[in-house]
Structure 1
Amino acid sequence: MADETIGIVGAGIVGLATGREIALRRPGTRVVVLEKEHEVAVHQTGHNSGVVHAGIYYAPGSLKADLCVRGVALLRDYCRERGVPYREIGKLVTAVRPDELGRMANLYERARNNHVPDLRKVAKEEIKEIEPNAGGIAALHSPRTAITDYPAVAREFAQDIEAAGGELRLGFPVTSITGVPNGVEVGSARDRVRVDRLILCAGLHSDTVARLAGYGREPRIIPFRGEYMLLRPDRAHLVRGLVYPVPDPRYPFLGVHFTPRVDGTVEVGPNAVLALAREGYRLTSISPRDLLGLAGYPGAWRMAAQHWRTGIEEYRGSLSATAFMKDAGLYVPGVGVKDVVRGGAGVRAQALDRDGTLVDDFRIHREGRVTAVRNAPSPAATASMAIAEHIVDAVFTGT
């Protein structure tokens, strides 16, 4: 239908990509993006490390796998068209212990099934040719893995929406979502907006906003803070591309790694510690409301019972730079505490089921006129344009 109004809650990269996709595919449809902050890309998008994932890690056939691979191609072309930095600097996924070789072999097969381009196995001797300062006994090399500037991409998406006649309503914290005849009314403390359909891309607050729309309480968002060190400027030359560990399949986190940024800095991290606030970018950030919600959720206690040892180790790294750099030094030997300074932090919106399972795949649900993104962690930024296609297909065709 022409002349519909589609509301989107959340001006992160997924919400903005979705608004742009609607504006392009459905001329005459008006897009209104509702965002509680006074600028776009403030939270997960604005604290992203900038990696464009190639699709190595994700279960074949999952939404993550399919949308990541599709999203890379879309994002690469878009960045080149708009002049946003996009650099294929490559990635080494490095085994440093013999017991990791089996997991690395499984990862290679998974990546092949996902059609990751130009991926190859690298012997110990070849690692030095790619990364002269890297350690390890074997690796996978993904030369097409890239880095970009996701906040810049998000700003471009926002401009596309406005150029197509859409609107960004910033400073609009959503407090109510109510069904009305032939539409949905979205309210804040000071204003109300009526739309024909509504798409929820609320990131760290996706569960609370979904409940306003009548969705169930699960999955619940659990915030994990990822903290980074930065290589000192005179040591940044030690790393050419991305250097990652072989991930532990029990967790949806990739472990501490080395990440060159488009601004020339090199991050080391992140760890993954339970944040005490949904927007808890500092160790001292505490939200009593968020803590009470966490303490009252059975899934949080079941998760803690399963993973408390790992949690303690992650907190040790948060409190001690020496502990933080202990494992990092295995991947780039010789790099230690003296070579780094404290960097920034981000908070990951990780969905958790009632049984304590960390939700791995994207979850996107549609009920009537409201579509909710319930879980969209990494590689959501990489896949944002493909996620947008998927959402628009679901909203307008029911597929």
Structure 2
Amino acid sequence: MKTFLIIGGGLVGLATAYKLGLRFPDARITVLEKESEVCKHQSGNNSGVLHTGLYYAPGSYKARLCVAGQREMIEFCQANNVPHDVCGKLVVATNENELSRLKKLLERGMQNGLQGLQRLDGDEIQEFEPHARGVAALRVPQTGIADYPRVGAVLVEKVVSQNSRVVTNAKVIKCSVFNGQWTVQTTAGDFQADYMITCAGLYSDRVSEMFGEQRAVRVLPFRGEYFRLKKSREHLVRNLIYPVADPRFPFLGVHFTRMMRGGVECGPNAVLAFAREGYRKTQISPKDLFDAFTFSGFWNFMGKHWRIANSELRRSVSKKLFAQSLQKLVPEIQADDLEPGGAGVRAQAMYPNGNLVDDFLFVERANALHVLNAPSPAATASLAIGSAVVEKVAEKFS
């Protein structure tokens, strides 16, 4: 009997366990999650968007798995009564300088197989978002929203129904291998397996290192902070309104998102967090800071992009500056319209030269596979990522 351990109970880990159970129905599969519940971090603290693959380089993992994963995620939501809505979004160019980037987005979306993309002139924007303003926009009808925490709960049910296990409060302490058999010591006891898959999100680099990997990349935590529109101002946004993203970064800029559970969210920004679980500005981890400050990639990144980093930091502490960014899309927005929202932390892998890893990153070994970079759009793509991981694993057993 094949035995598998999966480290990480976010959407990617759970989807991998589910797909692994379909492929190897007689296998013994165990998911280990350090928290008391699944989907506690990136999977449960994101904007809830069903991404389409608009932004990603054709042929990349992100492009292929997002496009395929979104279709599968919608089917999964429909089949399992998970709340979702394919409501569409607008990507708005707010000045003439952004038109060339908007055109490239349209071309890239078509290359990635998106259907129904529509280029709008400035006066056509109000047909879809009456309060938005811009010189042009791209309408992406396939974009939607979904209740990802509910997706995670359904995946747990399916994994357990396959006679697999999801063990919570199981933080990995130590790993060893003997005669091809892994032993993992955790706070919930010891576990053995023939094959190891790590999907550890914010700790993906550290966990893979525990299994003998050199840290060729390091995870840097970027906090994304949100505001919510006051209920009396929610009418200013129908669905999703995005700016034209800066192509130098994998962040999409502050935007408006109608939430599946009600309300309109504004954000996120992208500011370096002082802890890997730094959901609040006041949360500081000396270990995480030391990890960042002793990494050459951090200093190389800051040397290249200190202006952007400074701008994000200033916007993080000033609701007025945050509102000014939103006003470029919806001019009627005022700082007083914004109420404090939540925050998420993005696990972004970085190379020593300071470049951000801009695709999903998998590292394969004889009896292990490590998912080292799976930020957005990994929630949308999670089922497809699970399938891709299982295909890689299956090759080892063929």
Q: TM-score range by the shorter chain?
A: over 0.9
Aligned counterpart for 1:344 among listed residues 342, 348, 351 = 342
The answer to whether the 8 A contact 1:18-1:387 is kept is yes
Question: Are 2:353 and 1:355 equivalent residues in the alignment?
Answer: yes
Instruction: Provide Cα deviations, 1:32-63, integer angstroms capped at 9, x if missing partner.
Output: 00011010000001101100001100000000
2:169–2:188 CA contact under 8 A, matched in 1: no
Give yes or no for the alignment of 1:129 onto 2:127.
Answer: yes
Distance 2:244 2:188 in 1: 49
Q: CA deviation at 1:326?
A: 0.8
**2:182 aligned residue:** 184
Confirm or deny that 1:196 pairs with 2:194.
Answer: yes
Q: How far apart are the structure 2 equivalents of 1:24 and 1:367?
A: 22
SS at 2:212 equivalent = coil
Secondary structure at the aligned position of 1:45 is classed as coil
**Aligned-partner Cα distance in 1 for 2:114–2:87:** 15
Which residues of structure 2 form unaligned runs of 5+? none
Q: 1:167 aligns with which of 149, 165, 168?
A: 165
Identical amino acids, percent of aligned pairs: 45
Taking structure 1 as the reference length, the TM-score comes to 0.98
The answer as to whether partners of 2:171 and 2:188 remain within 8 angstroms in 1 is: no
Note the aligned Cα RMSD (angstroms). 1.0
Check if 1:73 corresponds to 2:38: no
- Cα distance in structure 1, aligned partners of 2:236 and 2:332: 10
Q: In the alignment, what sits opposite 1:104?
A: 102
Q: Which amino acid letter does the alignment assign opposite residue 329 of structure 2? A: Y
Map of 1:1-399 to 2, 5 A cutoff? 3-189=1-187, 191-398=189-396
| Contact 1:90–1:145 (CA under 8 A) maintained in structure 2 | yes
- Contact 1:89-1:240 within 8 A present in 2 as well: no
Unaligned 5+ segments in structure 1 are none
- How far does residue 305 in structure 1 lie from its aligned partner after superposition? 0.4
> What's the CA shift for 1:190?
5.6
Amino acid at match of 2:297: G
Q: How many residues align?
A: 397
1:258–1:268: 8 Å Cα contact kept in structure 2?
yes
Mapped partners of 1:226, 1:93: distance in 2? 19
Aligned mates of 2:325, 2:338 — CA distance in 1: 14
The CA deviation string for residues 82-131 of structure 1, in whole angstroms up to 9 with x for no partner, is: 00011011110000011000011111100000011211111111100010
Equivalent residues of 2:350, 2:356 under 8 A apart: yes
Deviations 1:323-360 (A, max 9, x none): 11111111011111111111000000000000000110
- Whether the aligned pair in 2 keeps the contact of 1:200 and 1:371 (CA below 8 Å) is yes
- Please give the per-residue CA displacement for 1:61-84, whole angstroms capped at 9, x wherever unaligned: 000000000001110000001000
1:182 CA drift (Å):
3.1
Moved >3 Å (runs of 4+): none
1:290 deviates by 0.4
In structure 2, give the amino acid aligned to 1:313.
S
